[in-house]
Structure formats: C-alpha cells, structure tokens
Amino acid sequence: MLAVEDVRVTLGDAEILHGVDLTVASGEWVTVIGPNGAGKSTLLRAVGGAVPFHGKIIIDGTPTSALPRRRRAQLVATVAQQPVVPPGMRVLDYVLLGRTPYIAPLGRESAQDLSIVEQVLDSLELRRFTGRELETLSGGERQRVFLARALAQGAPLLLLDEPTSALDIGHQQEVLELVDRLRRERSLTVLATMHDLSIAGEYADRLVLLADGRVAADGPPAQVLTEELLALHYRARVRVIAGEFGPIVVPVRVS
C-alpha cells in the first residue's frame, strides 16, 4: 500500500530526514516511534503531501508525483498533531470536510455523504456534539472529531500522528480499538506515530524506530522494544515485560 524510498526532507536550512525507507503492506498497522524531534511527524507529513521531499513515495502503486490532489485525498486521510480548524466551525461541518474529495467543485454533499458522516459520528460517540463549535470542545472530544473527519474520508491509508495524546486511558482504548476494528472490516492500512511504547506495541504489527531522521530499527514490537534499543535511542532506563498483546515498557528510576 505504501513504499517510502530514500526520502529526504529539508526544513529551513536543516535536513530532517536523511534517506528513510519504509514499506507498509495493505491492511498492516505500522507505528513510528522515536524520541522528540526524530522526524516522525515530518515523515507522516511527507507521506500526506504536506511537505516537499526528495526520494520516492508510492501509494497504492502510484508515485505521489503522478497522483492528482483529489485522487491522493481519496487514498490518504491524515489526523495531524495540530490540525488547523477554521474559526467558528461546527462539528458536523468539520467532519463533512472529510467528504470533500468526493464532492464535485461547487457541488453539495449528497445524502450518502451525510449518512457516512452520521455513521462515523455514531461510532465515535460524537452525535451529541454535532452542533457545537470545535473550540468549545475539550481536548479529547476535539481529538475524536479530528479522527472522525479522517474516517469520513473513507481513504484506505490512514495516517495518525499521535492520535491519542489528548485522550484519557478509556478513550485511548476506545479509539484504538475502533481504528483496529475498521482496519479489519475495511482493510484499512494504518501508519501512526505514538509516544506510549506499550500501546504502540500492542496495536501495531510492526514498529519503526526513527532516531535523528534515520530508521534505527524496523520489525515486530518484541524486536524493537528492547531495553538496549530504548536505552540507546531514548537515553531511558526501562524494564520490558512480556505482555499478553506485546511488550510492556516500564520506566524505572535511575537512582
């Protein structure tokens, strides 16, 4: 579904990604982990078309350089870390924006577009917020609305940049279980970033550890979440315990 080949990104006068290679198979969930500033968001932004890059990104068999914008929006939906929200926008209108790639220029949303949006709002328990302005929602409620817009887009490739950072532990589980269920039901492919390493390992098929703009490790969670790799790249002292759904990473005091 996705191939990232020797991708380099320069922002300002600094090269942030120094030749990243990554593949994600159709239906697979890959989560990019790594310390602050490693380039995780930049990588997702390059795949989503939000920053220019050198190298090659191929989505569903077509290099992005040959993908018209509308077609790309039908293939890739992004939940950014800090999405831009037009002031005064209400939840229903915001989630409907997800249907834009299917609406003809100057056209209006169809009954089918509305029905898709309503289904997504229901699945994320957001119906009661439809008339509210986004600024009046709590951080967690807003984060679910951002996810709703991306799901309404109906794209097979979902890019999630720290999708649960503002959510309490219950909503974290709820949202990740929903994404996982949709992935299975609709064969969605997921490329995410996450800081909670245990949760990252529980949901992803593969983890990619990015450090200083380079891939430092790529493999099943048990292969990447090791005390040695985490000490080396995060300068963190942790214990890794075998859990039912993947390794559990526990920070331990240094002294």
Q: How far is the CB of 203 from ligand ATP (least distance, A)?
A: 18
Contact partners, residue 184, CB within 8 Å, separation at least 6 = 27
Nearer to ligand ATP, 151 or 192 (CB): 192
Alpha helices in the chain (DSSP H): 40-48, 69-75, 91-96, 111-123, 139-152, 169-186, 197-203, 221-224, 227-234
Q: Is residue 41 close enough to count as binding ligand ATP by CB under 6 A?
A: yes
How many other β-carbons are positioned within 10 Å of the β-carbon of residue 11?
13
Distance in angstroms between the alpha carbons of the first and the last residue of the chain: 46
Q: Is residue 40 close enough to count as binding ligand ATP by CB under 6 A?
A: yes
Binding mask 15-34 for ligand ATP (x = CB under 6 A): -x-----------------x
Q: Is residue 65 close enough to count as binding ligand ATP by CB under 6 A?
A: no
Q: How far is CA 107 from CA 70, 85, 99, 104, 233, in A?
A: 15, 22, 12, 5, 50
Nearer to ligand ATP, 99 or 206 (CB): 206
Q: Is residue 39 close enough to count as binding ligand ATP by CB under 6 A?
A: yes
Q: How far is the CB of 15 from ligand ATP (least distance, A)?
A: 10
Nearer to ligand ATP, 41 or 78 (CB): 41
Q: Is residue 221 close enough to count as binding ligand ATP by CB under 6 A?
A: no
Q: Is residue 143 close enough to count as binding ligand ATP by CB under 6 A?
A: no
Q: Residue 173: helix, strand or coil by DSSP?
A: helix
Tokens of 15: 């090269």
> What's the chain's Rg over C-alpha atoms?
18
Q: Choose which of 6, 25, 26, 37 interacts with ligand ATP (CB under 6 A).
A: 37
Q: How far is CA 184 from CA 53, 178, 181, in A?
A: 31, 10, 5
Phi, psi of 135 (to 5 degrees): -65, -20
Phi-psi region of 175 (alpha: psi -120 to 50; beta: other; left: phi over 0): alpha
Q: Is residue 11 close enough to count as binding ligand ATP by CB under 6 A?
A: yes
Nearer to ligand ATP, 93 or 196 (CB): 196
Q: Which of these segments, 40-48, 106-114, 147-155, 228-236, binds ligand ATP (CB under 6 A)?
A: 40-48
Length of the chain: 255
Q: Is residue 38 close enough to count as binding ligand ATP by CB under 6 A?
A: yes
Q: How far is the CB of 11 from ligand ATP (least distance, A)?
A: 4
Q: Is residue 48 close enough to count as binding ligand ATP by CB under 6 A?
A: no
CA 27 to chain centre: 14
Q: Is residue 12 close enough to count as binding ligand ATP by CB under 6 A?
A: yes
Q: Is residue 101 close enough to count as binding ligand ATP by CB under 6 A?
A: no
Nearer to ligand ATP, 41 or 172 (CB): 41
Binding site for ligand ATP (CB under 6 A): 11-12, 14, 16, 34, 36-42
